[in-house]
Amino acid sequence: MTTRRKFLKSIGVIGISATVLPQVLKDTLGKMDSTITLNQQTDYELLVPTFLGNDQRRFYGRGIPQKLKLINKFKLGCGQTYRKGMETWCGAGWTGQPAVIKDKGKIYLICPSYDHHLRKIEIDSFKEIWRNKFDDIQKGSPTVYVDPTADENNRLVILQGSRGTLHKEPLPHLRTSLRAVSFRTGKELWRIHHKKTDSYSQDNDSSPIDLKNGELFNGSENAIGYFLSSKVSDVLELDKIIQPKILAEVKLYDDADISKHKRNLVTESSPSRFGDIIYVASGAGHVYGINILSREIVFDYYTGSDIDGSAVISKDGKLFAAIEKEYIPGKGGVLKLDLHKMDVDSVEWYLPTGDKNFSSWKGGIIGSVALNDEYNDGEFPYLFATNTIEGKLYIGSQDQITGEKVDDPLKKNKCDKPVVAVGNNIGTSITTPIFTDGNKLVSATYDGVNLFEIHYENAKSSDKNTVQNKKGEYFKITLEKIDKFMPGVSFEATPVVWDGIVYVNCRDGYLYALG
């Protein structure tokens, strides 16, 4: 069966006429999961439970930050890892966004670190509640989910990825780079060995997604998508360690990608969900859609590039992918896909960004695209924002195009170009900027953390670079820099905001609270 037919069959629309298909797709796929899970009996709230907050990767916390003054800091320390020899890394890096969880009246951060420890930190006192030591540096951001079948101590579960290069126990060949830890006790519940594949890596950068049907989905750097049982009791002993039950595996590359990418097939992005389909950006250059029921790939858009950023999905079912400048003749940038369509037909626009040699990167975007959907009731235009390797912060319209045509990443097709309202120089960044309440935006870079206010001025349709809201009103957008924290210091982790306080990990070895 073709990918197109699998996609249509998976959502129950084969045989429906083309005239009614768009509405059927909208009705079928448009059911969104809530951002916050609340259980009154046990008094917990998953406030920001995963990287970029929710199943669509577009929620960054709540509250209006006024300044970036130092309120508190916590020493994360440093740890060793193997890259081109033994190296010491400090603090926390990409993606490194803390989770925010409320439990029994108190709010906590779950924070990964390069010193090998996962920590639970009480947010008011900034005191450590517990720590759990991994065998290597912790990469990515935690995911916290609820297992309603578990006892009270183990009902809230943390999933955290790491590198897999220093593991010694119990067997040296194992690469147990994803672990489950009890939120309340800090005790390990299980760890999973990511098997050797055609990909060069067995690390885990991805933040898994809770499918809320007794299953989890995780993308590993071995280029396998794993469906796992979410029940903490549903485990077994393999290779002398307690591992979760694997329900299915999905290969996230084609055989032809092995030589094209020189075995760099790693899936580093975090999966998202729209309706009954999981979307994941693959390091092999694909944006895949995987049906949750059939566990088959039903959507496949090939960019050719390495993709590190997560697939971010808007309220109206549009996917925003961040494209790196690697393995492609064209430029990196932002790709918008319409999930109601298939493959090449799904492309709505492409924003190419500038090239720049920085570290091992050549340009494009390493972080993810941010959307203001959760902070906008339609009064203002729906915007996207992204940080880039070239050093610019781009803010533009999700919906409007300029009329100009640009090359896609492979230089095979011409695409529309979106209206860009702002293109400010802020310095090279691999983080994701975050929208907040009150039209604020926080952007962490290799040159410190910036706080901006977005100003909307009434404009005419003929004015240059104006953007519209859903009412058809035109606005000119300007950015005002409100504050900057620690210029000259490297931040590789994405911030989170709660009650107006910005929490961000730094490569200097500290977690900072700013407000």
pTM above 0.85, yes or no: yes
Query: Would the pLDDT of 404 be above 60?
Result: yes
| Model pLDDT, residue 84 | 82
pLDDT at 34 over 70: no
Are 261 and 216 a contacting pair, CB within 8 Å? no
Q: What is the identity of the amino acid at 405? A: K
- Distances from the Cα of 40 to the Cαs of 36, 102, 103, 297, 361, in angstroms? 13, 12, 11, 37, 47
> What pLDDT score does 83 carry?
85
pLDDT of 89 higher than 70: yes
pLDDT-derived band at 37, boundaries 50, 70, 90 = very low
Question: CB of 119 within 8 A of CB of 138?
Answer: no
* 16 pLDDT higher than 60: no
Cα–Cα nearest to 301, from 274, 276, 280: 280
At 343, the pLDDT band (50, 70, 90 cuts) reads: confident
- Please give the pLDDT value at position 12: 43
Non-local (6+) Cβ contacts of 415 within 8 A are 347, 349, 350, 405, 406, 407, 408
Q: Residue 383: its pLDDT value, please?
A: 98
Q: Under DSSP, is residue 439 helix (H, G, I), strand (E, B) or coil?
A: helix
DSSP string, 155-192: SEEEEEEE--SS--SS-TT----EEEEETTT--EEEEE
Sign of CA dihedral 30, 33, 34, 38: positive
pLDDT (0 to 100) of residue 464: 84
Point out the least confidently predicted range of 164-173, 228-237, 303-312, 313-322.
Answer: 164-173
**Domain 3-514, CATH class in plain words:** mainly beta
* % of residues, the chain, pLDDT over 70: 90
Residue 167 has pLDDT above 90, yes or no: no
pLDDT at 3: 58
Assess contact for 167 and 175: CB atoms under 8 A. yes
Q: What is the mean pLDDT of residues 458-484?
A: 93
Beta bridge partners of 371: 384
Rounded to an integer, what distance in angstroms lies between the CA atom of residue 381 and that of residue 383? 6
CB atoms within 10 A of CB 190: 23
pLDDT given at position 26: 41
Q: How confident is the model at residue 25 (pLDDT cuts 50, 70, 90)?
A: very low
Partners of 50 in beta bridges: none
Query: What's the whole-number mean pLDDT along residues 32-57?
Result: 76
Which residue, 198, 182, 319, is CA-closest to 261?
198
Q: What is the mean pLDDT of residues 121-149?
A: 97
> Residue 33 — pLDDT band, cuts 50, 70, 90?
very low
CB 47 within 8 A of CB 100: yes
Neighbours of 297 (CB within 10 A): 22
Q: What does the DSSP assignment read for 318-375?
A: EEEEEEBSSS-SS--EEEEEETTS-GGGGEEEEEE--EEEETTEEEB-SS--EE-GGG
Share the mean pLDDT of the chain.
92
Cα-Cα-Cα-Cα dihedral sign, residues 321, 327, 328, 333: positive
How do the domains of the chain map onto residue ranges? 3-514
In this structure, the number of other CB atoms found within 10 A of the CB of residue 474 comes to 17
**CA–CA dist 67, 512 (Å, integer):** 13
Question: Which range has the top average pLDDT, 16-30, 108-122, 172-186?
Answer: 108-122
| Per-residue confidence band for 262, with pLDDT thresholds at 50, 70 and 90 | very high
Using an 8 Å Cβ cutoff, are 235 and 242 in contact? yes
In this prediction, residues 465-494 reach a mean pLDDT of 96
> Where do we find the tokens 């039950």?
245
* pLDDT at residue 11, rounded to an integer: 45
Residue 330 corresponds to which tokens in the numbers above? 């064209």
* Band of pLDDT at residue 239, cut at 50, 70 and 90: confident
- Residue-wise pLDDT tens digits, 421-456: 999 999 999 999 999 999 999 999 999 999 999 999
Which secondary-structure segment (H or E) carries 110? strand 106-111
Q: DSSP secondary-structure letter at 154? A: G
State the pLDDT at residue 29.
41
Give the separation between CA 392 and CA 395, rounded to whole angstroms: 10
Please tell me whether the peptide bond between 49 and the residue prior to it is cis, using omega within 30 degrees of 0: no
pLDDT in tens, 124-135: 999 999 999 999
Over 70: is that where the pLDDT of 191 sits? yes
Largest CA distance in the chain: 68
3-state secondary structure 186-199: CCEEEEECCCCCCC
Q: Is the pLDDT of residue 85 over 50?
A: yes
pLDDT of 268 above 50: yes
What does the alpha-carbon distance between residue 481 and residue 431 come to, in Å, rounded to a whole number?
A: 18
Strand order in the sheet with 383-387: 370-371, 383-387, 392-407, 414-425
